[in-house]
Amino acid sequence: MPQYYKMRDILLFILDFFSTREWATITIIGGFVLYCFVSNKGVRASVYQVVKCFFAPKVLLPILGAYVYLSVFTFLLYKLGLWSTAILRQTIFFYLFSCVALLFRYIMKPAELASKKYWNEALNVLVVIEIYINAYTFSYFAELLIQIVIMFAWLMANADMITKEKTRVQGCFRVVYYISLSVVFLYSVCSVVAAGIENFSYDMVVSIVYPVIGTVLYYPYLYMIAVYSEYEWWMIVIERSARGDRDEYKRRRKAVNRCCRLNLSKICFIKSDFKPFLHDSYVEFISALSISEKKYREKKSPKNSN
């Protein structure tokens, strides 16, 4: 009997430790993974390759670097009284999902990181999601329905990432996605206000503010990783354009480094405009690079170019 009560206490602790929202998330992710494993033999056969690719140094090191980078800032926030162990669960959620998602999103689309789109999307959506996560919890089945609707609307709204085409249907689902977020956000805020402002504790405020601070502090790391990944890909192209001549490759690499330095938007623009394979000699290479740099300056200051 004592062993039975011990197991029951452990199960009750696990059930109480996770909220209905977290159980709904676990159900959806677990159901999706189980469906993939059961329905497709190719998925089961390729799991080992996926895990192997994930632990490749060029994939794993940026993720570990992000965790170390944010852990240092979290420790500093703890010393300043802006973080406590009461929001450890929200911090882990932010590390596991938001950080990794932002890292791979802006490695794939570095030009968006160099623009204001990062602040418009990452911060605005994050504030809504964090208030939804921390301020109010619906019932288990309501959470399942909300997450399924929002995820489906988001997938349909962003289908152009795969098809490379935008349609009216995707525009409609994008409207549904933002309306769903807005309704859930407003309902959560109204429910907290109706329950009384005393329920809005200091830890709840910190749990909402911390991911916003973390996203702002995360930007320099994302920027440097995006610059590194763009340079690495570009250097491979430049090395091939030098056709095996190491001295020519070093000269071209230095010219590109002097031209772009750490300006991510400039790197992205010149990389898309400049074609190193079309220029055999170093003089032609430098001339074409100068023309691309001039186009970039004209794009950034169209009034002066006129």
Residues 72 and 129 in one domain: yes
Residues 260 and 297 in one domain: yes
End position of a domain, from candidates 227, 262, 295: 227
Domain contains 84? yes
User: What is the Cα–Cα distance from 39 to 22, expressed in whole angstroms?
Assistant: 25
End position of a domain, from candidates 197, 227, 257: 227
Residues 208 and 61 in one domain: yes
Domain contains 140? yes
* φ/ψ (deg, to 5) at 251: -65, -45
End position of a domain, from candidates 227, 260, 279: 227
Residues 275 and 128 in one domain: no
- Give the structural domain span for 159: 56-227
Residues 264 and 222 in one domain: no
Residues 91 and 208 in one domain: yes
How confident is the model at residue 306, as a pLDDT? 44
**CA-closest candidate to residue 161, choices 109, 124, 112:** 109
Domain contains 7? no
Residue 181 token pair? 């977020």
9-63 per-position pLDDT tens digit: 766 666 676 777 778 878 888 888 788 777 777 777 777 777 777 788 888 888 8
Q: Which residues fall within 8 angstroms of residue 82, CB to CB, at 6 or more apart?
A: 206, 209, 210, 213
Domain contains 233? no
Residues 275 and 250 in one domain: yes
144-200 per-position pLDDT tens digit: 887 777 777 666 656 555 555 556 666 676 666 667 666 666 665 565 555 555 555
* Sign for the pseudo-dihedral over CA of 262, 55, 18, 152: positive
Q: What does pTM read for this prediction?
A: 0.71
Residues 83 and 217 in one domain: yes
Domain contains 201? yes
b/e burial code for range 215-239 (CB count within 10 A of at least 16 → b): bebbbebbbebbbebbbeebeeebb
Domain count, the chain: 2
Residues 164 and 296 in one domain: no
Percent of the chain with pLDDT over 70: 67
Residues 218 and 252 in one domain: no
Residue 221 scores a pLDDT above 80: yes
Domain contains 218? yes
Residues 133 and 200 in one domain: yes
Residues 63 and 96 in one domain: yes
75-127 per-position pLDDT tens digit: 888 888 778 877 777 787 778 777 887 788 778 878 778 776 777 666 655 55
User: What is the Cα–Cα distance from 67 to 91, expressed in whole angstroms?
Assistant: 11
Domain contains 183? yes
Domain contains 61? yes
